[in-house]
Amino acid sequence: MSFALGLTGSIGMGKSTTAQMFVDEGCALWDADAAVHRLYSRGGAAVEPMRTVFPPAIVDGAVNRDALKQIISDDPTALKTIETIVHPLVAADRAAFRDRTAADILVFDIPLLFETGGDAAMDAVACVSIPVEEQKRRVMERGTMTEAQFEQIRAKQMPNVEKSARSDYVIVTDTLDHARAQVQDVIRQIRAGLADA
- Could you tell me the CATH number of the domain that includes residue 189? 3.40.50.300
The predicted pLDDT at position 132 comes to 87
pTM above 0.75, yes or no: yes
Q: Do residues 154 and 194 both lie within one domain?
A: yes
Last residue of a domain, one of 52, 85, 102: 102
Question: Does 132 lie in the same domain as 117?
Answer: yes
Expressed as residue numbers, the domain containing 139 is 1-27+103-197
Contact 156, 11 (CB under 8 A): no
pLDDT tens-digit series, residues 7-41: 999 889 999 999 999 999 999 999 999 999 999 99
Residue 169 shares a structural domain with residue 89: no
CA triple 183-185-187, angle to 5 deg: 70
pLDDT in tens, 114-153: 988 999 999 999 999 999 889 999 989 998 888 888 888 8
pLDDT tens for each residue of 49-95: 999 999 999 999 999 999 998 998 899 899 899 999 999 999 999 99
Q: Are residues 161 and 194 in the same domain?
A: yes
The total of structural domains in the chain comes to: 2
Do 123 and 169 have their domain in common? yes
CA-based nearest residue to 32, from 136, 119, 100 = 119
Same domain, 3 and 18: yes
Q: Read off φ and ψ for residue 82, nearest 5 degrees.
A: -60, -45
The verdict on 44 and 125 lying in the same domain is no
Quote the pLDDT of residue 115: 87
pLDDT at 103: 94
57, exposed or middle or buried, with CB in 10 Å at 0-12, 13-18, 19+? buried
d(CA 55, CA 49): 10
pLDDT for res 106: 97
Same-domain status, 123 and 92: no
Question: Is 191 found in the same domain as 128?
Answer: yes
Of 102, 119, 151, the one marking the end of a domain is: 102
The residue out of 51, 80, 102 marking a domain boundary is 102
